[in-house]
Amino acid sequence: MNPKYENLFSTFTLPNGITLKNRIVMAPMTHYSSNPDDGTVTDAELQYYAHRSKEVGMVVTACIYVIPNGKGFPGQFAGDSDDMIPSMRKVAAAIKEQGAKAVLQIYHGGRLSPPELVPNGDIVSASDIPAQRGNTSGPTPRALTESEIEEIIHAFGETTRRAIEAGFDGVEIHGANGYLIQQFFSPHSNRREDRYGGSLEKRMTFPLAIVDQVQSVVAEHAKSPFIVGYRFSPEEPETPGITMSDTLTLVDALADKGLDYLHVSLFHFASTPKRGVEDLSKTRVQYLLETINNRVPLIGVGSIYTAEDAYQALESGMPLIAIGRGLVIEPNWIQKVKEGREDEIVTVVQKDKQEQLVIPDPLWQMIINTPGWFPGI
C-alpha cells in the first residue's frame, strides 16, 4: 500500500463505542430492485450488497420507507410493518457476513413520493406546496395534520425497532435530498403556522422529534450499542429555501443530540456555499466542521472516485468518507488501494460489465439511461 493512504484504513470508534475497521463508508444508493408487490428484498439486492461489503467499515443501505405513504421509488424495500423483519434481516446478514457494520437508512418521501406508489395517490408534506423540478412542478401534496405528524414520528421509531430486531448495527435518519424531514425544515415546503412551522426553530421541531423518538426506541430495545446517524443536505436552490446559515443552526442542534454521526449529502465534497454565509469561498465542509467543533463525527460524501479523492476528503478534516457511485463502478476499490493498485481503479461505467459488477437490472437500467448521474454515461 502507498503509505500516503494508510490513514484511510485506520480504525475509527464512534461515540457509542462501536469501532469501524476503516474510514470508508458505502454511501446509501437507491437501487429500485426490491419485489414490487410487497417491498421484500430480492436475491439480486443481497448479492449487490454482499459484493461491496467485504472491505468497507460500514454500509448505509438504500432508504427504507417507514409508512406506506412514504414510498418514493419503484422497487423500494419496505420497513413499514413487522412482516418486513425477515426481509430486513436478510439485508443485515448479507452486509455483516462480509465484515462491515450494517446501517439501515429510514425515510419518508413526502411530496416527492409518486402518487401511483402510495395508497389512494395521497401525497403528503408539511404544507400543500408542490416540489419544483426545473421549470415544472410536481403534484400538489396534502398538508399533514398534527395527529398524522405524530403517527409518522412514531413510525420512524417502529422501523428502528424492526432494524434492531433484524440485526442491523444502526439506523440513519434520512433528513436530506428533499424528502419529508427536509420538507419540514425548508421554508419552501413548510408554510405551517402551528408548532411544526413558522420560525427556523419551529421548522426544526419535526426533525429533532424524530431523532428523539429513534433514540428513545434504541434506549428501550437495543441490548448492545446501536448506531444512530442523521443525513442532511446543506442548501436548496429554491427561494425561499434552506440556506447554509439555516443548516448550520440545525447542525448545531443535532451536534448536541448525542448522535453517533452526521452525514452531509453533497454532489462534490469540496463544494462551496451558495448563500447564507459571509465567505462563499470556504467549503461547506469547513463551515460544518467549525460548527460541529468535534462534538460528533461528520461523514462526507460527493464525487469520490479515486484514492486521491478520498485522501483529499480525509485531509479536509472529515473523519469518515462515504463512497457511493465509486463503489458501484468499482466494487474492488478498497482492495486495489490496499494492494497499491490504486491506478487500476475504474472511475467510469463499463457498459459491458453489468454481470461482473453484480448490479441488479433495475439499477443498471437507471444508470445507463440517466445521463450525468454516473461518469461515462
Question: Which amino acids are annotated catalytic?
Answer: 179
Q: Rounded CA gap, 4 and 212, in Å?
A: 40
Closest CA to 34 of 1, 3, 67, 61: 61
Q: Rounded CA gap, 165 and 39, in Å?
A: 18
| DSSP structural state of residue 27 | P
Q: Which own/partner contact pairs does 342-347 have at CB distance under 8 Å and 24+ positions apart? A: 342/2, 342/5, 342/306, 342/307, 342/308, 345/305, 345/306, 345/307, 347/305, 347/306, 347/375
Residue in this structure with the C-alpha cell 463505542, named with its chain if needed: 17
User: Cβ(120)–Cβ(67) under 8 Å?
Assistant: no
Number of H helices, E strands in the chain: 13, 14
Q: Rounded CA gap, 42 and 33, in Å?
A: 7
Closest CA to 360 of 137, 33, 40, 134: 33
Q: Rounded CA gap, 284 and 235, in Å?
A: 10
Q: Rounded CA gap, 38 and 94, in Å?
A: 20
| DSSP structural state of residue 367 | H
Burial class of residue 238 (count of CB atoms within 10 Å of its CB; 0-12, 13-18, 19+): middle
Residues sharing a CB contact under 8 Å with residue 146, sequence separation 6 or more, in sequence order = 194, 195, 196
Closest CA to 301 of 29, 5, 17: 29
Q: Which is it for strands 19-20 and 12-13: parallel, antiparallel or unpaired?
A: antiparallel
The count of residues in the chain is 377
